[in-house]
Amino acid sequence: MQNLFAIFGNPVSHSKSPLMHNRCFAHFKEKSCYTRILLKNGEDLKARFFALGLSGANITVPHKEAAFAACDVIDEDAKAIGAINTIIEKNGKLHGYNTDAPGFMLSIEEFSREKVLLLGAGGTAKAIAYIMNKRGLDVTVMNRSAGRLEGFNHCETMTWENFENRGFDLVVNTTSAGLADGNLPVPEAMIGGVLENAKACVDVIYGKQTPFLQAAQKRGLEVKDGADMLLYQGVLAFEHFTGHRYGTREITPVMRKAFEL
Ligand code: NDP
């Protein structure tokens, strides 16, 4: 019998996940197939999952918190982050994981990251700050407004008004500035100061060279967009989907090919 997997989101038609996972299922000769489901109401997630007879799923914007509410058993990291992007069905129960955060860490392995500056304080920043703190990194979070900084208990926090350069070697843009506009994540007058001392810059936005990455490249810094974060969250989800029969090293080159299609 075939196992069916899916990604739930709204919108979801742009998602690369079906390509990524189907390519791996075919390569590893797994009798499984992966599709995409447009889910308008997050509260319907559990009912749709069981009605479709799914073995597992990925969850994308805006339903990661709804997925958290739908799961019966939640992994320790996902619990701390408060968002779930990967679900597995086991004996009628939904088990939830967050592979975005460890996926991001795999995507930055080549960069020095003794002092990290995260720009933005939304859901993605929260997940990345949590995993970086857990792995002992020194993380500072800067956001344009103060309200969302309150949850970042184990990080230094700053707003644009009180920014202080602490000699960051890695700067990560987790804001949506540059996604659908030409904005920098900080005012133009600040960007030089923010990037001073930095060796590398990463943007979680993928598929385009954002103004942030352009500014970093102009200063001769190493840059990377969010495509590897997307890749590695998928690699780690695939490990869950296949009961850990394959490891990161085997899955990564196969899944990476989906980005060339
Ligand atoms: P949220 O809506 O939770 O947070 C957005 C953050 O961006 C807030 O801190 C907000 O600041 C800030 N922000 C928005 N616009 C601007 C601006 N013009 N200038 C400065 N700051 C701004 O978003 P998410 O955390 O869910 O997603 C953030 C980005 O991450 C998106 O672009 C998304 O596509 C990307 N992403 C990529 C993934 C990947 O696999 N590569 C996975 C998940 C997300 P304020 O609090 O002041 O409003």
Give the mean pLDDT of the chain: 96
Alpha-carbon torsion angle 81, 82, 87, 90, nearest 10: 100
Please check the confidence at residue 241 and state whether its pLDDT lies above 80: yes
Using one digit for the tens of pLDDT, what is the confidence trace for 166-177? 999 999 999 999
pLDDT, tens digit, for every residue of 46-89?
999 999 999 999 999 999 999 999 999 999 999 999 999 999 99
CA end-to-end span of the chain: 28
Q: Is 157 in the pocket of ligand 1 (CB under 6 A)?
A: no
In the reported structure, the alpha carbon of residue 226 is separated from the centroid of ligand 1 by a whole-number distance in angstroms of 12
The residues carrying an active-site annotation are: 64
In short, whether 187's Cβ falls inside 6 Å of ligand 1 is no
Ligand 1 probe mutation, 16, 176, 259, most atoms within 8 A of CB: 176
Q: Name the residue at shortest CA distance from atom 1 of ligand 1.
A: 122
CB 102 within 8 A of CB 131: yes
pLDDT at 261: 77
Q: What is the pLDDT of residue 151?
A: 85
Determine whether the shortest distance from the Cβ of 146 to ligand 1 is under 6 A.
Answer: no
**What's the predicted TM-score (pTM) here?**
0.95
Given the DSSP bridges, would you call strands 56-59 and 86-90 parallel, antiparallel or unpaired?
A: antiparallel
The pLDDT of residue 143 is 97
- Per-residue model confidence as pLDDT tens digits over 114-158: 999 999 999 899 999 999 999 999 999 999 999 999 989 889 999
For residue 126, which atom of ligand 1 is closest to its CA?
25
103 ligand 1 Cβ < 6 A: no
In the chain, % of residues over pLDDT 70: 100
pLDDT of residue 1 exceeding 70: no
pLDDT surpassing 90 at residue 222: yes
- Ligand 1 touching residue 177 (CB < 6 A): yes
